Structure 1
Amino acid sequence: MRYHKIPDETVRRLPIYLRGLMFSAEKGNEHISSQSLAAFVGVHSHQIRKDFSYFGDFGTPGVGYNIGKLAREIQRILRLDVIRRAALIGVGDLGSALLAYPGFRTYGLDIVAAFDADPEKIGHTINGVEVEDVSGVDSLAEREIFLAIVAVPRQVAQETVDRLVGAGIKGILNFAPCRVEAPKRVKVITLDIAMELARLPYYMPAS
């Protein structure tokens, strides 16, 4: 089922709710109230109920939410109920760390290919994935890979995205510190770590 006219902020919160449910399940709980889930993720309980109301009625009055059932519903909504194969472009310090990170599979993502232009990196294996020459990006659709993570320098970010679009990629997570453009049919999410860090001093008390 496709959901239309759902606020982006609601979609952004769904993975946070999923993490809270997983944490609660690890503690041995079978049910959770909206108040308890709200306390874990840092939002008001009415916000959780409003977000879930876009997709259906998942709770039971006086009981709360069945954790396992609700987690499966969120995974289905986010299309995380099947493993999505992804490619990493750029295997520098950040790219290597992303390859080594084990948590992506929890959210239905599996980095199965990695590419770089540096001959010294090509052929090396990180977390079971061999680094390939960047020319191999053109064959991603043939390998049934439609998601990509871009961790390249700013100067080559746009041309990398252009090449990925031409290779049939439908979703891109961009870590390059710049804005990139893609056709509307391709969803691009940019995460600039330095930019996020730059916000923190504003909230810190003056020394």
Structure 2
Amino acid sequence: MKQIEVSRATMGRLPVYLKYLKNTDPSTENISATALAKELGLGEVQVRKDLGAVSGAGRPKTGYRISELIEVLENFLGHNENGNVVIVGAGKLGRALLDYGGFRDYGLDIMAAFDKAVTEPETSNLGKPVYSMDMLDGFCRENNIRIGVIAVPAHSAQEVCDRFIKNGIRAIWCFAPCTLTVPDDIPVQYENMALSLAYLNKKI
């Protein structure tokens, strides 16, 4: 089945639509893009474009069947798939990511963090586990981890990346200021927070 491609901006709005639809009156069966746009304070054209990208056009006069639209959005956002994630690097950034609840909007579950400085199992502020690096391999295999987050200094990032790939991780989110060497079929998303802030500064 061909993967649907949507823009980053559209991806950001889809959980907003889903949350609103889930909170509608159960007796309401249908909703139009016009009504949805009005309730959320968005442009009607934008809403039609977003929903059209993932579910096609609504029915004339009746719009979208809410139950069907919820199912489509949940499937697209991966709520019914394996979105298991681990972090290596349990410093302030790693622990903040571990406890951030917004990932669940996209069907993602950051299950644990790992750090070489940890010798005995710990917990984050919200009770998520933080383990020693010795436990990484077994945890990845037992929990079918698909995505790995690198939150370590640049000089350690490639070693962590190689270990992720060895354990079957299929995608990497990297916060280290470096460029990783990975197989062609392993996507990497880099996050340079200093660059993002500097770019924003230039907009002022």
Query: Can you give the 5+ residue segments of structure 1 that lack an aligned partner in the other structure?
Result: none
Structure 1 residues 146 and 23: CA distance shift in structure 2, 3 A: closer
Q: Does the CA contact (< 8 Å) of 1:25 and 1:67 recur in 2?
A: yes
Correspondence for 1:12 among 8, 13, 19: 8
Q: How far off is 1:95 after superposition?
A: 0.8
RMSD value, Cα: 3.0
- The separation in 1 between residues aligned to 2:35 and 2:114, in whole angstroms, is 44
1:132 partnered with 2:131: yes
- The separation in 2 between residues aligned to 1:143 and 1:54, in whole angstroms, is 32
- The separation in 1 between residues aligned to 2:195 and 2:39, in whole angstroms, is 27
Q: Does the CA contact (< 8 Å) of 1:72 and 1:81 recur in 2?
A: no
Q: How far off is 1:174 after superposition?
A: 1.7
- The separation in 1 between residues aligned to 2:48 and 2:18, in whole angstroms, is 18
Tell me the TM-score normalized by structure 2: 0.78
Amino acid paired to 1:193: M
1:178 partnered with 2:178: yes
Q: How far off is 1:194 after superposition?
A: 2.2
Q: Does the CA contact (< 8 Å) of 2:99 and 2:128 recur in 1?
A: no
> Which region of structure 1 is more displaced relative to structure 2, 55-64 or 171-180?
55-64
Superposed, 1:77-96 pairs within 5 Å as: 77-96=76-95
Superposed, 1:144-183 pairs within 5 Å as: 144-183=144-183
Paired-residue identity, %: 31
Q: Does the CA contact (< 8 Å) of 2:85 and 2:111 recur in 1?
A: yes
1:21 partnered with 2:32: no
Q: Does the CA contact (< 8 Å) of 1:148 and 1:173 recur in 2?
A: yes
Structure 1 residues 82 and 130: CA distance shift in structure 2, 3 A: same
Q: How far off is 1:112 after superposition?
A: 1.8
Query: Can you give the 5+ residue segments of structure 2 that lack an aligned partner in the other structure?
Result: none
Q: How far off is 1:164 after superposition?
A: 0.5
Tell me the TM-score normalized by structure 1: 0.77
Aligned to 1:100: 99
Structure 1 residues 11 and 165: CA distance shift in structure 2, 3 A: farther
Aligned to 2:108: 109
Structure 1 residues 81 and 123: CA distance shift in structure 2, 3 A: same
